[in-house]
Structure 1
């Protein structure tokens, strides 16, 4: 006889849905508006994630974390319009300042803080270079990967993907995320007729987003915390919510630098 479903599996669904609705509304408005509006949202989210990173490593020093976040916001605001590769070196200012100030996990902070800033810059650059349509594709792949993985993992369950790092992530949810991403690629191919390469690219983007999530899970386990912060009901912090988008952004920066993503223009 089949055991009754555990209702606790869905205990976080209501707050997650409500918080997600607000974030989707704000994010969609920013993506559609583009320009300075999208830049301001990106700067805010990036700065908050740096603060969360600091507080995970040094929970007794939130004031210094806020000062560092303000430094990140200042540097990133000045760099978003610049396309020269040398300007990326300025993103080392805040990570180095934090690494020097911290008493432990200096290399961890340096690596994650730099990755967060570059990923934020990458999203703004992607919006500028490819426009609303393709940023919507990127975000759509990340969101569908997350949603498909969440429901498949809760409904199907099964073997864990990497229990030591991310105890809740299952192979069923992981593969469902890839399938959902492929579906997003097919939809966008139908809308823009960019060719079949968009499907495998969507799957690779999905994998990159999942590794962004795994990297942040590994960071939290290393720091001994459940969430990056408690800013978002049902989701934890901004780092918890946007870790997958960071992985996707870094992946697309590499792809566009190496290949230029042929055909990825409506």
Structure 2
């Protein structure tokens, strides 16, 4: 029996979600084998692309400006990673300032999100160096588990919308399921590796931060009147569409690291 139009529509983006999860897991796998300079180069390149997508969405008529901003962002992040001092913060903030100072839609919003992208890029490289492969893989696994479980529960159970004005498809059932999925992933890591039990609630908080990263990008796209950040990934949008949750999760970890030694949660 063929599924009806409503049922088919409910699962219309299932293939995209699955492929998104595969992409994130693949990035984690590549990180295991590469690490070091190669991983940092990958993060710098992806960061530049995401700044390009953000700049293009918020100023579609300025063709050259987004490319210049992307190259500048990649160079700024590279400089910050090489310096590793308080001055590095100035380089991380350069793309944000550039977006605010150039003519575009929602300059402050674009500037804030650019800062989040840059911080996430810096944080991913730093987490790899200080926490090793396990920390990065945990982060990716938590974000993927939250997204996958939240998707299936949200589509199956439905119910009240979480934030309909910005993300019409996101439900409270799916949102909470994402937290549960992330906590279970954290629990699996604890039982498997002997990491701190604090990793369980932290995993749930990371999932929530990832969901906020997803909503932030949805808000920017909605205000820009676009469906996807770009068409770099045929049929599946742009790099931002695939890594928006990881941006939110990593920024949260950076903030948490100001109060708690995050890498210490892994028992290293």
TM above 0.5, yes or no, is yes
Cα distance in structure 2, aligned partners of 1:99 and 1:81: 25
Cα distance in structure 2, aligned partners of 1:220 and 1:190: 40
Residues 126-171 of structure 1 show CA distances to partners (whole Å, capped at 9, x for unaligned) of 1111110111111111111111111111222221111111001011
Cα distance in structure 2, aligned partners of 1:18 and 1:109: 27
Tell me the equivalent position of 1:66.
67
CA deviation after TM superposition for structure 1 residue 242, in Å = 0.7
1:202 aligns with 2:203: yes
Question: Is residue 13–residue 234 contact of structure 1 (8 Å, CA) maintained in 2?
Answer: no
Describe how 1:83-102 pairs up with structure 2 within 5 A: 83-102=84-103
Task: Report SS of the residue matched to 2:169.
Answer: strand
Cα distance in structure 1, aligned partners of 2:198 and 2:27: 31
Tell me the equivalent position of 1:254.
255
CA deviation after TM superposition for structure 1 residue 21, in Å = 3.3
Cα distance in structure 1, aligned partners of 2:260 and 2:161: 34
Question: Is residue 19–residue 232 contact of structure 1 (8 Å, CA) maintained in 2?
Answer: no
Cα distance in structure 1, aligned partners of 2:182 and 2:257: 19
Describe how 1:74-153 pairs up with structure 2 within 5 A: 74-153=75-154
Q: Point out the more displaced range, 146-155 or 121-130.
A: 146-155
Residues 153-212 of structure 1 show CA distances to partners (whole Å, capped at 9, x for unaligned) of 122222111111100101111111111111111111012212321111111111111111
Tell me the equivalent position of 1:155.
156
Question: Is residue 212–residue 245 contact of structure 2 (8 Å, CA) maintained in 1?
Answer: yes
Question: Is residue 16–residue 235 contact of structure 1 (8 Å, CA) maintained in 2?
Answer: no
CA deviation after TM superposition for structure 1 residue 19, in Å = 5.7
RMSD: 2.0
Cα distance in structure 1, aligned partners of 2:165 and 2:23: 32
CA, structure 1 residues 103+187, in 2 after alignment: closer, same or farther (shift >3 Å)? closer
Tell me the equivalent position of 2:243.
242
Gaps of 5+ in 2: none
Cα distance in structure 1, aligned partners of 2:235 and 2:170: 17
Gaps of 5+ in 1: none
- Scaled by the length of structure 1, the TM-score of the pair is 0.91
How many pairs are equivalent? 264
Residues 225-256 of structure 1 show CA distances to partners (whole Å, capped at 9, x for unaligned) of 22211222443211111111011111111111
Cα distance in structure 2, aligned partners of 1:31 and 1:155: 35
1:264 aligns with 2:266: yes
CA, structure 1 residues 205+66, in 2 after alignment: closer, same or farther (shift >3 Å)? same
Cα distance in structure 2, aligned partners of 1:248 and 1:116: 11
